[in-house]
Amino acid sequence: MVVGVGTDVEELLKYELCSYPTSLFDNNLLMRPPDKASLQTGLTGKVPSSVVENLPNTVSYVLDGGALLQKISWPKFLTYEALCRIYLEYIQSQFGNCTIVFDGYLEGPSTKDDTHSRRIGTEVGVDIDFTPDMILTMNKKPFLANSHNKQKFIDLL
């Protein structure tokens, strides 16, 4: 279509090529997963070394708690309380004093639902009514695939 003087805007909108931004969604209308490593590399390359060298000594970290749940291994036959201590010791040794942020898993639909679904895949975990002194016998992936288990573990942390 050739756009000329007097072209009606509504006429142009009839020929929109795509009803959703393809940079954000795939053909199944699921959000595309983020490429955080490329973002970090791109941002790191833009920061001059003189800025990095002059950072203050008091750095405050903000950590993605959900990513930490996935990162740390779960030794079997520990209590849930002991597993919490492993998490806390890892965070303290790697980051010191920091703030940990969790997405929230029981609050209804969110933009993270696609990411959570992609992460758990076909795993299905049963609800575990655990206490801090109970022995952990379940593998991490099915345990965290259940949002109630995940939220209860976060509350324990």
pLDDT class of 16 with cuts at 50, 70, 90: low
The domain limits of the chain are 62-106+119-157
Q: Please say if the pLDDT value at position 79 is more than 70.
A: yes
Q: Please say if the pLDDT value at position 110 is more than 70.
A: no
Q: Please say if the pLDDT value at position 82 is more than 90.
A: yes
- What is the model's pLDDT at position 67? 84
Q: Determine contact, residues 63/99, Cβ cutoff 8 Å.
A: yes
- What is the model's pLDDT at position 111? 64
